[in-house]
């Protein structure tokens, strides 16, 4: 699980997984920054584009002027590069599942699905 130790959603996900008996390896992604290749892989596993998992409320989002960046395939690399350079822009928690998929587990519903899928693996 890509997580931020200071994030309440990450803490809730960790607690829910632990309570359900689902083993989890935590990756503090702000300190252990994902490589570009890792982020591209996670986006594929999520079936998402970088702007779909970008934290738009972060100050660096405004500083870079990302609100004005096109959300298009021609700009995809620009978004990925910004997120690798500033990992705080990456949504959390992201849980990588044994079945090869991934989920952004911010809601109780998403966490329940993660737990169900982990139990089936």
CATH number at residue 23: 3.40.30.10
Q: Between β-strands 27-28 and 94-96, what pairing exists: parallel, antiparallel or unpaired?
A: unpaired
Q: What is the pLDDT of residues 29-42, one digit of tens each?
A: 999 999 999 999 99
DSSP string, 82-98: HHHH-GGGB-S-EEE-T
Distances (CA, A) of 7 to 11, 44, 116: 6, 24, 23
Q: Which pLDDT score, from 0 to 100, does residue 3 have? A: 94
Nearest to 96, CA basis, from 15, 51, 29, 20? 29
pLDDT confidence tier of residue 118, bands split at 50, 70 and 90: confident
pLDDT at 43 over 90: yes
Q: How many domains does the chain have?
A: 1
Q: What is the pLDDT of residues 48-100, one digit of tens each?
A: 999 999 999 999 999 999 999 999 999 999 999 999 999 999 999 999 998 99
Q: Residue 112 is part of which domain span?
A: 2-120
pLDDT confidence tier of residue 120, bands split at 50, 70 and 90: confident
pLDDT confidence tier of residue 5, bands split at 50, 70 and 90: very high
pTM for the model stands at 0.93
CA distance 115 to 120: 9
Q: Which pLDDT score, from 0 to 100, does residue 121 have? A: 75
DSSP string, 51-65: GGGB-TTSHHHHHTT
């Amino acid at each position: 699980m890509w997580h931020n130790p200071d994030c309440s959603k990450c803490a809730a996900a960790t607690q829910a997984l632990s309570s359900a008996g689902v083993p989890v390896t935590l990756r503090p992604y702000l300190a252990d920054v994902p490589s570009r290749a890792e982020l591209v892989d996670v986006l594929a596993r999520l079936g998402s584009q970088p702007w779909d998992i970008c934290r738009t409320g972060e100050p660096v989002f405004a500083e870079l002027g990302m609100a004005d960046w096109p959300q298009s395939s021609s700009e995809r690399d620009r978004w990925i590069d910004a997120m690798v350079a500033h990992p705080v822009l990456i949504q959390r928690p992201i849980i990588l599942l044994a079945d090869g998929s991934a989920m952004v587990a911010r809601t109780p519903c998403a966490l329940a699905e993660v737990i169900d899928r982990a139990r089936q693996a």
